[in-house]
Amino acid sequence: MNVQIPANLEMEMKKMQIFSKDVIPKVVFMSGMGKAFCAGADVAGIYRYKQVPQGIRKLKMMMNQEYLLIYLLAKMKPIQVVHWNGTVIGGGAGLSINAPIRIATENSIFAMPEVNIGLFPDAGATWFLPRVFNNNSSIGLFAGLTGHRVKGKDLAKCGVATHFIKEENISKLKSEMVLLSENESVSVDKIKSLCDKYSEIIYSPSTFSFDGEEFINKIFKFDSLINIVKRLNESLKTESPKEVKLAKYILGVFKRVSPISLLITFEQLKRGTQIKRIEEAFAIESQLAYTFVEGHDLFEGIRSNFIEKSGKPNWEYKSIAEVDVDKLIHKYFEVKNESHIENFNFI
């Protein structure tokens, strides 16, 4: 798993179909080839869809396939163990975050950076971002709105990974896991115990830590994005140098990325705190995805950052202050297209 392209998605879908029928392995160990686990979608490939006949329809079908694959992985019967041997970004996070055992190494980098290209954190992020950081939805909101990267040992300290194991020990772990998986009584607890043996850090809610947690909790509340910006600006006058530096970083991100992406991500993750099942997350995301690919900012973000590489996108709005938030929320969340419901019928 390195980049999500249609051929890779089709191959993984076929594996899921096999796992759901006759040949069901007891344990599935997922890793990437080379220096990455999975860096998400082929972003430049998404841009090319706009340039071919029926491209938007094909892009919707591809996103349909991606979401369905992630959903099937989340419900897959074999015990899943993921080895994040490098970057795990966007769709790569979605493919693996629901595994009960998630191994970070010194090479692991986790992020949901979709706001940088004029999109929203998808691939099930509506479900996992409010929950994966020890159920601290404020940190999930911070991660979704900024695309903040978490690396190495910090992944196991904050709960994104369940274990931190040095890369040099992974091959030994895999060898023992193969032997253990041949036992009829293999279980998640037994696999976890094996991983514990090789781990330098084992995640526990009692030892949860995330750099900047106290400041993030004060700033990232689910009242409104405008209020988050106000609190950030106020913090520049009242907080410690470390927190001022973090506030400036966040405000810099907000000025750079799509106002539509920020506002939709805020509302998406706010709704994500209220849902009860992962199926509801994909119902929300399918609606949003179809609306984004019919709009301007996604393709503009890809053009400026990945095609022309100017880093100067011309977003539909210049700032969140220009946006009629109620109309935007209605357009993206409430105006239903029947094809959304037909193609993402998870509920």
Low-confidence ranges of the chain (pLDDT < 70): 1-23, 336-347
Chain centroid to Cα 191, Å, comes to 25
DSSP letters spanning 33-70: STTEEE--B-HHHHHHHTTSTTHHHHHHHHHHHHHHHH
CA end-to-end span of the chain: 28
Q: Which fold has domain 6-343?
A: 2-enoyl-CoA Hydratase; Chain A, domain 1 (3.90.226)
Q: Where are the domains of the chain?
A: 6-343
Burial class (CB in 10 A: 0-12, 13-18, 19+), 53: exposed
By percentage, how much of the chain surpasses pLDDT 90? 71
Query: What's residue 40's pLDDT?
Result: 72
Query: What's residue 2's pLDDT?
Result: 47
Q: Which two tokens stand for residue 298?
A: 């996604």
pTM tops 0.85? yes
**pLDDT tens across 62-86, in order?**
888 889 889 988 988 899 999 999 9
DSSP letters spanning 190-255: HHHHHHHHH-SEE--GGG---TTHHHHHHH--SS-HHHHHHHHHHHHHHS-HHHHHHHHHHHHHHH
Q: Tokens 């419900």 sit at which residue?
A: 75
Q: Tokens 């966007």 sit at which residue?
A: 90
By percentage, how much of the chain surpasses pLDDT 70? 90
**pLDDT tens across 196-233, in order?**
999 999 999 999 999 999 999 999 999 999 999 999 99
Q: Tokens 């193969």 sit at which residue?
A: 178
Q: Which two tokens stand for residue 58?
A: 């094909």
Contact 210, 133 (CB under 8 A): yes
DSSP letters spanning 129-187: HHHHTTT-HHHHHHHHHH---EETHHHHHHTSSSEE--GGGHHHHHHHHHHHHTSTT--
Instruction: Calculate helix-pair angle for 259-272, 278-293, nearest 10 degrees.
Output: 160
Helix (H) or strand (E) holding 80: strand 79-84
Query: What's residue 341's pLDDT?
Result: 44
